[in-house]
Amino acid sequence: MATYKYDVTMTCSGCSGAVTRVLQKNTQVKSFEVTLETGKVTVESDSLTQDEILEIIKKTGKAAKVADA
C-alpha cells in the first residue's frame, strides 16, 4: 500500500469537507486524513498513482500539489 501526501489550499470546513467527500466516493482510496489547520492531506491506496489522486483532489477546485518530502 502506498501513502501519498499533498498540500491543499483549504480555508474553511467547507473546503476540507469537499476534499473529504471526493476521497470517500473513490473506492480505490483505502484511507485518508484531511487536516484543515495545516492544509495537509494524506491518502493511502494500493491501486491509484500519486498523480491520479492529485487529480481527484483538484476536482474540488482547490489548489493542490504533492507535498515536499
Residue 20, domain extent: 2-66
pLDDT at position 60, please?
96
pLDDT at 69 over 80: no
Total domains, the chain:
1
Rounded Cα gap, residues 1 and 60, in angstroms: 25
d(CA 12, CA 55): 21
**CA-CA distance, 54 to 6, in Å (whole number)?**
8
**pLDDT tens sequence across 5-55:** 999 999 999 999 999 999 999 999 999 999 999 999 999 999 999 999 999
Which CATH number fits the domain that encloses residue 43? 3.30.70.100
